[in-house]
């Protein structure tokens, strides 16, 4: 067996493995150096981890949208970041109106529900329109074409919203109910962070449940496996795809509101970076895979949060947080070297890679 | 095929509503408002108004065309209904705006917009006029359908040229200021802002007549000529274009040289990305990384600021290109086994990594950090320092010629065919004996070579390298232009670059809505003409394969490219 | 017969020539850089090179708005309308080069307001300077642009914005002397503006005797700063200086209050954060945030009573940053200079000599602008050297002036 293994390895494999090992070495070295420095207390580390989980929860929610669409259409919906943005940006105006009429303060949960609803509806509508106008006609085109369309649609939506709502920042009012901390033993967790983490978890479970245990989910999985056969089996493929997009849109809209709960500012560019991060998270966890997207999101969030302090500080690198995206992408490459289909690997339906 | 009347009305109404929504979008996004100040025909009509009325006209035309009404009156009626529907949406916006303050949410729902929508008349009269205008324009749109095709072509060409001239007035003024008598003549047709009315009429008549006449002539398809003549034509075309290219910046002035330089740099990059994406099918979203590496290497090696090295440009350039190629290989190695979409995100990551590293405080002593590297040397050629845009234009031209030649030869070579085989189906290619590793790495290396070269010229043109110049947008620009120009097609890269990089530079109002139009253009192009503006023959076949099959059978889904 | 005709004809021509040579002579331009000729009825062409698209566009759009208010309020200059067109400088060097090339190629332009960002100015200035034009910026803050003898200092450049060396030092003095801080941390966002400011701050603070506990950097588009702030908190600063822009700045302000260890730390930004968007973006956390800016005490009642309503009327919103004020002043400086040096011909043609215009602008003294008393140095710094520090209160804009 060793001989066949030796025969199959090529020079490039060796180099790639060397790169991977170098990354692993640097990570371990940096970690040890930082811990030896003892600059950060355990509370600080815990704080960083929780911050990472909260941010990761949002990435996870957005990643769910990417992964659902990928699973069913085998395409990356680049414009998903704008689907994410459209919900909260529009809902910010509603929130403003609610604050002005005093409803926001008197019935906070009701207001929140209203805002969530509007965001989900707007995001879902944008996602639906996107699919109908830009993606449906291109279902049979070679893979690069819908990808380019998605990129174009992303920019179009970004700047359309910029034109509609203006290029400035739109503040989102905070909820008094969610101000402050909850204490878990010795640590303080921001209430908003808890809401976000649990909200993301809940959404993930709902989506996972739908995909795995409902009839519609079965339809989704079969369309994802083989479109033509599914059509032969009597499944309305067009409708299934549309509803998948709508589901992705709803999860993006919810993610959007959770996002503005954590970071109460909306603007037209707010979807771009989280979109890329979520895309990375989806790939990290294994694209097409709902729990994978969730896991990838959380992992990415924690890495971004803890990584610079843990890996880079010890090596004496100034302003380590400037490099947090570098860490995220390097870890991505690392994982993809040793596990090329992402951490949780398989897709919605176990199709050939 | 005759359609029954109610379906025809419904379709007309639907088309009209879609047209109206587009007008609504244009209005609320602010494009109509921004272009309001630019007159096409001075004192008569502004670009904003054209953008307001054109969709109504075009959609009415479309509705009439689809309706295939039997009678002339019917056609006109269909158009009128479509127009009415379009303007009714605008009217609803106006009326809504009078009741509630839309401006709190939509910054562009301003009094100015309302004035334009109602043609300056008060609420009641304005809405009536608006709806009436819709009917008339819709009818006109449908009426155009009834005209013979020669007249139609003449009218549309004349209109397009009139609009173009009105839009590009300032540019023409700047260019022809060196042309003496001709300038005086050309200046006559313009007014302070846009075309003068008499100028507009003259342009309209001239272009209309020319189109009418040429549409009537028979044209001989190029491919049908005997080979001798074909070759002669080709040579003549090449020589003429060569001369034109050499003389262009001198004729057009430095203003255009600047635009041509930018277009040229992107052509150079596009040629490289064309190899990676177009030939080999590897979706590289981090292409800007090699551009940055080329630029920064030249910067580090030639700038006296950092105090590290002090080479001159010609010594530094080969170094920079080699470093870029090495980077291409290093990037290529980990992604060899990755599937198409993973490849996209990893390359995107790589592009971002390079940019962040260039910006970082950590590497500041070597790369300049946020301050960038300044005082990059200009190249010296036979005692002449190449420093203004016109001189650099020639340098870029030489670079493009070399790169174009290399790309052209590669395309038809064995390596080129290996790339296309890998693009179509990796497994089969490997089964055919193609070394996947070497092929893919060579693709990355070739792409990196061109990008690095382009980066070095960029750095010397700017005499500075700032990390802010190397963002994801550059990669997206390059990708878009090769896609729109035509993937895998070398002339397509030139066309794409001219269209996508040139137009924002030419139209100022455009700058605010650049990416909006970009995005819309990408989507529309992909829906209508995915093989690009100047397609590669093989690609066009591939993309329209379904239509090549027996006409009349339902379009078959083309076999999806597996394993990518 | 024809000979007679010929002699008569020549007589006629000579007579006409003599007649026309009597009477007022047309103005002959003797200026070293040439003149701009504005025919009667034609507008005076002013141009801008600002960032009006992309993620930084609020900066440029606000600047342009300020200049447009100045033009609207001025009405006409010497009987001519003002035409205001321009290019996008993209807040980048290549954008500056493109804008500079285009503007320099148009000989009808009298003066340019711009650029938004210093990297663009460095590349645009050689072109503009060579074309004889004058450029005045309301937001360039890089120090080298107005240092005599520096490679990036060109004749024809002025600015109404403060050099970073002034603002950063003032902030450091405020922190050390007024706030009594001895340990400070800085955060910048990778832009030249923020980086230079924090460098100057750090240098001055250390000279005064303080220590910088850490220097961190963030991406201007990121939204989660908890991790960075936690890391900064671990170094134990008393004062955090983050001279960045509104988007990131308001979020940092908000999240600093939520970071354990930073509850009592003083927070301060620079004039990039002087904007109502900060009040909106930071919400309740904005209480106690310090910000440095030109001393607005000179604004007077005119700002609220005249400028703001006009701004609102033209653009439908309140100003979104502080730079509109600098550009308003820049435009007015240009007008004043034009009025001083322009020569009106007998037939109403206006001649504006370029070098004289430059000299007039460099010679601006005690100009009462929105941003203070402006006097231009020979290298182009026109900003009032008085920097003030303000403190934000919840829901209140503009912030309250507290120092000096």
Task: Calculate ∠ Cα B238-B244-B248, nearest 5°.
Answer: 150
Q: Which residue of B has its CA nearest to C106?
A: B174
CB pairs under 8 A between A and C: 104
Q: What is the pLDDT of residue C25?
A: 53
Pair (C351, C319) in one structural domain: yes
| Confidence at residue B563, expressed as pLDDT on a 0 to 100 scale | 38
Query: How sure is the predictor about A241, in pLDDT bands with cuts at 50, 70 and 90?
Result: very high
Q: Closest Cα partner for C96 from C143, C62, C145?
A: C145
**Residue B416, CB half-sphere, CA atoms under 13 Å: how many?**
13
The answer as to whether C8 is a domain residue is no
Cα angle B276-B278-B279, degrees, rounded to a multiple of 5? 75
Q: What's the CA gap between C392 and C397, in Å, rounded? A: 8
A80 or B124, which is more confident: A80
In terms of pLDDT, which residue wins out, C171 or A287? C171
Judged against a pLDDT cut of 80, whether residue B447 lies above it is answered with: yes
Residue A248 belongs to what domain range?
13-338
In the stretch 179-208 of chain A, residues with CB closer than 8 A to chain C read: 188, 190
pLDDT interval class at A226 (50, 70, 90): confident
pLDDT cut 70: percent of chain A above it: 95
Q: Per residue in B313-339, pLDDT tens?
A: 888 899 999 999 999 998 888 888 777
CATH number for the domain spanning A320: value is: 1.10.3470
Domain with C397 in it: 165-293+388-403
Flag whether pLDDT at A288 surpasses 60: yes
Residues of A in contact with B516 (CB under 8 A): 155-156, 159-160, 162-163
Look at residue A8 and tell me if it is in a domain: no
Position with higher pLDDT, A226 vs C337: C337
> Is there a single domain that holds both residue C309 and residue C362?
yes
Chain A residues closer than 8 Å to C59 by CB: none
* CB–CB contact A306 C230 (8 Å): no
Give yes or no for a contact between B412 and B269, defined as CB atoms under 8 angstroms apart: no
Within this chain, do residues C358 and C310 fall inside the same structural domain, yes or no? yes
Q: Which two tokens stand for residue B162?
A: 């009139």
User: Would you call C226 and A313 a contact, using CB atoms and an 8 Å cutoff?
Assistant: no
Asked if residue B360 lies in contact with residue B369, where contact means CB atoms within 8 angstroms, the answer is yes
Q: Do C177 and C287 belong to one domain? A: yes
How far apart are the CA of B457 and the nearest CA of chain C, in angstroms? 12
The answer on pLDDT for A9 being more than 90 is no
Q: Is the pLDDT of residue C1 over 80?
A: no
Report the b/e string of C328-354 with b at 16+ CB within 10 A: bbbbbbbbebbeebbeebeeebbbbbb
Residue C379 forms contact with B (CB below 8 Å): no
Q: Rounded CA gap, A276 and A283, in Å?
A: 11
pLDDT score at C376:
92
Residue A170's pLDDT is: 83
Q: Is the same domain home to C174 and C90? A: no
What per-residue confidence (pLDDT) applies to B274?
Answer: 92
**Band of residue B1 on the pLDDT scale cut at 50, 70, 90:** very low
What chain B holds in terms of domains, given with CATH numbers, is 5-216 (no CATH), 242-548 (1.10.3470)
- Residue B402 neighbours by CB under 8 Å, 6+ apart: none
Tell me: do C155 and C273 sit in the same domain. Answer: no
| pLDDT interval class at C289 (50, 70, 90) | very high
pLDDT per residue as tens digits for the range B36-79? 877 788 777 888 888 888 888 888 888 888 877 778 888 888 88
Pick B349's closest partner by Cβ from A154, A155, A332. Answer: A332
CB contact under 8 A, C98 and B258: yes
Q: A164 and B28 in contact by Cβ < 8 A? A: yes
3-state secondary structure of C188: strand
Chains in touch with C (≥3 Cβ pairs < 8 A): A, B
Contact at CB, C284 and A174, closer than 8 angstroms: yes
Q: What is the pTM of this model?
A: 0.85
Phi-psi region of B45 (alpha: psi -120 to 50; beta: other; left: phi over 0): beta
Task: Tell me, yes or no, whether A349 lies in a domain.
Answer: no
Distance between CA C124 and CA C137 in Å, rounded?
A: 12
Q: Are residues C371 and C397 in the same domain?
A: no
**Paired tokens of B2:** 């005759």
Answer yes or no: is pLDDT of C136 > 90: yes
Q: State ipTM.
A: 0.86
pLDDT at C10: 56
pLDDT at C56 over 90: no
A344 domain residue, yes or no: no
pLDDT one-digit tens code per residue, A65-102: 888 888 888 888 889 999 999 999 999 999 988 888 88
pLDDT digits (tens, 9 = 90+) for B334-383: 888 777 777 888 898 899 999 999 998 888 888 888 888 888 888 888 88
Distance from CA of B531 to the nearest CA of A (A): 9
Mean pLDDT for all residues in chain C = 85
Residue (of A65, A87, A73) closest to A135 by Cα position: A73
The pLDDT tens digits of the residues spanning C198-250 come to 999 999 999 999 999 999 999 888 888 888 998 898 888 999 999 998 888 98
Distance CA A249, CA A79 (A): 11
Mark whether C248 and C395 lie in a shared domain.
yes
Query: Distance, in angstroms, between C8 CA and closest chain B CA?
Result: 32
pLDDT at C106 (0 to 100): 84
Give the containing element (helix H, strand E) for C87. Answer: strand C82-88
- B65 is written with which tokens? 């065309």
Distance of residue B462 Cα from the nearest chain C Cα, in angstroms: 7
Residues C180 and C50 in one domain: no
Share above pLDDT 90 across residues of chain C, in percent, rounded to a whole number: 35
- What pLDDT, on the 0 to 100 scale, is given for residue C269? 92
Nearest CB neighbour to A171, from listed C235, C281, C320? C281
Q: What is the pLDDT of residues B395-412, one digit of tens each?
A: 999 999 999 999 989 988
Determine, for residues C221 and A272 on separate chains, whether the beta-carbon distance falls below 8 Å: yes
Q: What angle do CA B310, B311, B312 make, to 5 degrees?
A: 125
CA nearest neighbour of A17 among A6, A9, A8, A28: A9
The DSSP result for B258-307, as a single string, is HHHHHHHHHHHHHHHHIIIIIIT----S-THHHHHHHHHHHHHHH-SSSS
Give A295-342 pLDDT, tens digit per residue: 899 999 999 888 888 888 777 788 888 888 888 888 888 888 888 777
- Domains in chain A, number: 1
The beta-carbon neighbor of A168 closest among C58, C190, C217 is: C58
- pLDDT at position A116: 93
- pLDDT recorded at residue B552: 45
Question: CATH number, domain at C350?
Answer: 3.40.50.2300
- How many separate domains does chain C show? 2
Which of B282, B284, B333 should be substituted to probe chain A, the one whose Cβ sees the most A Cβ atoms within 10 Å? B333
The pLDDT of residue C17 is above 70: no
Query: How many Cβ contacts (< 8 angstroms) between chains B and C?
Result: 87
HEC profile of chain A: CHHHHHHHCCHHHHHHHHHHHHHHHHHHHHHHHHHHHCCCCHHHHHHHHHHHHHHHHHHHHHHHHHHHHHHHHCCCCCCHHHHHHHHHHHHHHHHHHHHHCCHHHHCHHHHHHHHHHHHHHHHHHHHHHHHHHHHHHHCCCCCHHHHHHHHHHHHHHHHHHHHHHCCCCEECCCCHHHCCEEEECCEEEEHHHHHHHHHHHHHHHHHHHHHHHCHHHHHHHHHHHCHHHHHHCCCCHHHHHHHHHHHHHHHHHHHHHHHHHHCCEECCCCCHHHHHHHHHHHHHHCCCCHHHHHHHHHHHHHHHHHHHHHHHHHHCCCCHHHHHHHHHHHHHHHHHHHCCCCCCCCCCCCCCC
Q: What is the mean pLDDT of chain A?
A: 85
Listed in sequence order, the residues at least 6 apart from B84 whose beta carbon sits closer than 8 Å to its beta carbon are B16, B131, B134, B135, B138
Query: pLDDT higher for C349 or C317?
Result: C349
Report whether C121 contacts C154 (CB < 8 A): no
Q: Which of C92, C102, C105 is opposite residue B468, by nearest beta carbon?
A: C92
Same domain assignment for residues C262 and C364: no
Mean pLDDT for the stretch of residues B513-519: 82
B138: confidence class by pLDDT, cuts 50, 70, 90: confident
Residue of A321, A327, A328, A329 best to disrupt the C interface, most CBs of C under 10 A:
A321
Contact with chain C for residue A277, Cβ under 8 A? no
| Residue whose structure tokens are 């596009």 | B270
Residue C167's contacts (CB-CB under 8 Å, 6 or more residues apart) are C141, C197, C200, C243, C270, C271, C292, C387
Q: Measured between CB atoms, does A305 come within 8 Å of chain C?
A: yes
**C314 falls within a domain:** yes
More confident residue, C166 or A188: C166
Among A296, A348, A301, A351, CA closest to A69: A348
Tell whether the model's pLDDT for residue A1 goes beyond 70. Answer: no
Sort strands C400-403 and C387-391 into parallel, antiparallel or unpaired: antiparallel
Residue A130: its pLDDT value, please?
Answer: 93
Report helix, strand or coil for B148. coil
Rounded to an integer, the average pLDDT of B442-448 is 94
pLDDT at residue B501 in the model:
84
Closest by Cβ to B353, choosing from A148, A166, A326: A326
B477 vs A contacts (CB less than 8 Å): none
Report chain C residues whose CB lies below 8 A from the CB of A174.
283-284
Q: Which residues of C touch B389 (CB under 8 A)?
A: 101
Interchain CB distance below 8 Å, B458 and C94: yes
Bridge-based pairing state of the strands C109-114 and C157-159? unpaired
Q: Can you tell me whether residue C347 is helix, strand or coil?
A: coil
Contacts of C281 in chain A (CB under 8 A): 169, 171, 264-265
pLDDT digits (tens, 9 = 90+) for A101-119: 888 888 888 889 999 999 9
C222: which chain B residues are within 8 Å (Cβ-Cβ)?
none
Percentage of residues in chain A having pLDDT higher than 90: 21
Predicted local confidence at residue A353, as pLDDT: 36
Q: Identify the pLDDT of residue C357.
A: 92
Whether C52 sits inside 8 A of B458 (CB atoms) is no
Q: Tell me: do C281 and C393 sit in the same domain.
A: yes
Contact residues, chain B, for C119 at CB < 8 Å: 372, 464, 466, 468
Tell me which chain C residues have a C-beta less than 8 angstroms from the C-beta of B511: 52-53, 87-88
d(CA A92, CA B164): 40
Say if residue C253 is in the same domain as residue C178: yes
Closest CB to A163 among B29, B479, B546: B29
In whole angstroms, what is the distance from residue C115 CA to residue B272 CA? 33
The alpha-carbon gap from C113 to the nearest alpha carbon of chain A, in Å, equals 22
**Higher pLDDT among residues C328 and B65, named by residue:** C328
How many Cβ atoms sit within 10 Å of the Cβ of residue B161?
A: 17
Residues B207-230 pLDDT 10s? 888 888 777 666 655 556 677 877
Peptide bond into C115 cis (omega under 30): yes
Q: Alpha carbon of C227 to those of A230, A303, B409, C188, C233: distances in Å?
A: 47, 11, 52, 15, 10
Under 8 Å CB-to-CB from C137, ≥6 apart: which residues?
A: C113, C114, C115, C116, C121, C157, C158, C159, C160, C161, C326, C330
């Amino acid at each position: 067996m060793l001989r066949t293994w030796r025969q199959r390895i090529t020079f490039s494999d060796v180099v790639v493995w060397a790169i991977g090992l170098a990354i692993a070495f640097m990570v371990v070295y940096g970690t040890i150096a930082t811990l030896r420095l003892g600059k950060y207390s355990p509370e600080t580390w815990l704080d960083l981890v929780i911050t990472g989980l909260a941010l990761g929860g949002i990435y996870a929610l957005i990643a769910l949208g990417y992964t659902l669409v990928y699973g069913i259409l085998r395409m990356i919906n680049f414009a998903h970041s704008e689907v994410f943005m459209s919900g909260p940006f529009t809902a910010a105006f509603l929130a403003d109106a609610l604050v002005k009429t005093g409803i926001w303060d008197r019935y906070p949960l009701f207001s929140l529900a209203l805002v969530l609803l509007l965001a989900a509806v707007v995001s879902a509508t944008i996602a639906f329109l996107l699919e109908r106008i830009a993606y449906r006609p291109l279902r049979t085109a070679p893979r690069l074409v819908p990808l380019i369309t998605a990129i174009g649609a992303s920019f179009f939506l970004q700047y359309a919203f910029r034109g509609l709502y203006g290029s400035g920042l739109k503040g989102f009012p905070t909820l008094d109910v969610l101000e402050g901390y909850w204490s878990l033993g010795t640590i303080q967790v921001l209430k908003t962070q808890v809401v976000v983490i649990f909200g993301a978890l809940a959404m993930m479970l709902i989506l996972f449940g739908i995909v795995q245990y409902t009839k519609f989910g079965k339809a989704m999985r079969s369309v994802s496996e083989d479109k033509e056969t599914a059509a032969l089996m009597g499944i309305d493929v067009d409708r299934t795809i549309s509803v998948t997009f709508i589901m992705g849109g709803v999860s993006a809209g919810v993610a959007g509101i959770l996002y503005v709960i954590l970071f109460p500012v909306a603007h037209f560019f707010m979807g771009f970076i989280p979109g890329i991060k979520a895309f990375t998270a989806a790939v990290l966890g294994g694209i097409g895979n709902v729990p994978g997207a969730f896991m990838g999101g959380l992992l990415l969030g924690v890495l971004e949060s803890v990584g610079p302090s843990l890996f880079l500080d010890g090596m004496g690198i100034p302003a380590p947080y400037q490099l947090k995206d570098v860490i995220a992408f390097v870890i991505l490459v690392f994982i993809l070297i040793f596990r090329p289909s992402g951490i949780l690997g398989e897709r919605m339906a176990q199709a050939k890679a | 095929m005759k359609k029954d009347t109610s379906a025809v009305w419904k379709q007309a109404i639907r088309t009209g509503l879609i047209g109206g929504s587009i007008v609504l979008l244009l209005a609320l996004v602010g494009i109509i408002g921004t272009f309001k100040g630019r007159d096409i025909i001075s004192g008569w009509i502004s670009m904003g108004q054209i953008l307001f009325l054109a969709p109504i006209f075009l959609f009415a035309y479309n509705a009439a065309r689809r309706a295939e009404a039997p009678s002339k009156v019917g056609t006109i009626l269909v158009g009128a209904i479509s127009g009415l529907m379009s303007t009714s949406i605008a009217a609803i916006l106006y009326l809504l705006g009078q009741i509630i303050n839309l401006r709190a949410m939509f910054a562009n729902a301003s009094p100015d917009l309302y004035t334009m929508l109602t043609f300056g008349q008060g609420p009641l009269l304005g809405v009536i006029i608006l709806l009436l205008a819709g009917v008339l324009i819709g009818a006109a749109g449908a009426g155009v359908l009834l005209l013979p095709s020669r007249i139609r072509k003449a009218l549309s060409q004349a209109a397009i040229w009139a609009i173009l001239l009105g839009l590009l007035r300032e540019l023409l003024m700047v260019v022809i200021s060196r042309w003496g008598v001709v300038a005086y003549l050309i200046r006559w047709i313009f007014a302070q802002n846009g075309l003068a009315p008499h100028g507009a009429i003259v342009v309209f008549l001239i272009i209309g007549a020319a189109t009418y006449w040429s549409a009537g002539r028979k044209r001989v398809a190029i491919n049908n000529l005997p080979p001798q003549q074909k070759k002669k034509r080709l040579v003549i075309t090449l020589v003429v274009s060569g001369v034109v290219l050499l003389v262009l910046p001198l004729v057009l002035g430095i203003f255009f040289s600047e635009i041509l330089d930018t277009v040229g740099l992107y052509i150079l990059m596009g040629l490289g990305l064309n190899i990676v994406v177009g030939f080999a099918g590897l979706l590289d979203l981090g292409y800007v990384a090699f551009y940055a590496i080329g630029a920064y290497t030249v910067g580090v090696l030639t700038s006296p600021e950092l105090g590290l090295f002090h080479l001159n440009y010609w010594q530094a350039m080969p170094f920079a290109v080699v470093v870029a190629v090495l980077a291409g290989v290093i990037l290529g190695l980990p992604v060899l086994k990755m599937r198409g979409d993973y490849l996209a995100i990893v390359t995107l990551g790589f592009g971002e990594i390079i940019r962040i590293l260039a910006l970082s405080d950590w590497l500041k002593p070597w790369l300049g950090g946020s301050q960038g590297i300044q005082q990059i040397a200009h190249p010296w050629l036979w005692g002449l320092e190449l420093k203004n845009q016109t001189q650099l234009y020639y340098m870029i031209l030489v670079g493009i010629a070399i790169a174009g030649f290399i790309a052209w030869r590669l395309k038809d070579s064995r390596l080129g065919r290996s790339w296309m085989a890998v693009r179509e189906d990796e497994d089969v290619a490997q089964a055919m004996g193609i070394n996947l590793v070497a092929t893919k790495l060579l693709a990355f290396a070739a792409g990196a070579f061109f990008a690095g070269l382009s980066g070095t010229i960029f750095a010397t043109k700017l005499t500075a390298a700032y990390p802010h110049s190397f963002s994801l947008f550059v990669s997206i620009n390059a990708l878009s232009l090769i896609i729109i120009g035509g993937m895998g097609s070398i002339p397509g890269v030139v066309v794409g670059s001219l269209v996508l990089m040139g137009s924002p530079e030419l139209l100022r109002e455009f700058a605010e809505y650049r990416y909006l139009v970009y995005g819309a253009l990408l989507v529309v192009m992909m829906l209508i003409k995915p093989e690009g503006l100047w397609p590669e023959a093989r690609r066009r076949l591939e993309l329209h394969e379904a239509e090549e099959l027996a006409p009349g059978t339902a379009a078959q889904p083309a076999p999806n490219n597996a394993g990518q | 017969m024809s000979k007679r005709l010929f002699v008569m004809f020549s007589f006629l021509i000579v007579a006409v020539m003599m007649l026309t040579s009597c009477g007022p002579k047309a103005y002959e331009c003797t200026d070293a850089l040439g003149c701009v000729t504005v025919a009667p009825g034609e507008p005076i062409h002013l141009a801008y090179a600002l960032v009006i698209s992309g993620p930084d566009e609020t900066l440029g759009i606000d600047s342009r708005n300020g200049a447009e208010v100045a033009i609207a309020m001025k009405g006409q200059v010497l009987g001519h309308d003002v035409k205001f067109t321009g290019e996008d400088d993209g807040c980048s060097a290549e954008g500056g080069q493109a804008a500079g090339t285009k503007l320099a190629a148009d000989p009808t332009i009298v003066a340019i307001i711009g650029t938004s960002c210093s990297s663009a100015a460095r590349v645009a200035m050689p072109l503009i300077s060579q074309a004889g034009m004058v450029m005045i910026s309301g937001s360039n803050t890089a120090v080298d642009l107005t240092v005599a003898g520096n490679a990036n200092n060109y004749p024809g450049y002025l600015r109404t914005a403060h050099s970073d060396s002034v603002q950063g030092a003032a902030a450091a003095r405020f922190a050390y002397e007024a706030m009594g801080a001895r340990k400070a941390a800085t955060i910048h966002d990778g832009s030249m503006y923020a980086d230079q400011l924090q460098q100057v701050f750090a240098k001055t603070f250390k000279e005064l005797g303080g220590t910088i506990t850490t220097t961190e950097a963030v991406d201007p588009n990121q939204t989660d700063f908890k991790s960075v702030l936690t890391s900064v908190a671990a170094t134990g600063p008393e004062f955090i200086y983050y001279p960045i822009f509104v988007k990131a700045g308001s979020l940092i302000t908000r999240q600093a209050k939520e970071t354990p260890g930073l509850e009592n730390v003083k927070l301060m930004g620079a004039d990039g954060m002087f904007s109502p968007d900060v009040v909106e973006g930071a919400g309740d956390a904005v209480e106690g945030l310090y910000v440095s800016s030109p001393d607005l005490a000179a604004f007077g009642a005119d700002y609220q009573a005249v400028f703001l309503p006009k701004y609102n009327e033209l653009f439908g919103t309140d100003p979104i940053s502080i730079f509109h004020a600098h550009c308003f002043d820049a435009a007015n400086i240009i007008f004043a200079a034009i009025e001083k040096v322009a020569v009106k011909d007998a037939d109403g043609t206006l001649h504006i000599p370029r070098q004289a215009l430059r000299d007039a602008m460099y010679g601006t003294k005690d100009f009462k602008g929105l941003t203070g008393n402006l006097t231009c140095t020979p290298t182009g710094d026109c900003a009032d050297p008085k920097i003030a520090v303000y403190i934000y209160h919840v829901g209140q804009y503009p912030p309250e002036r507290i120092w000096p």
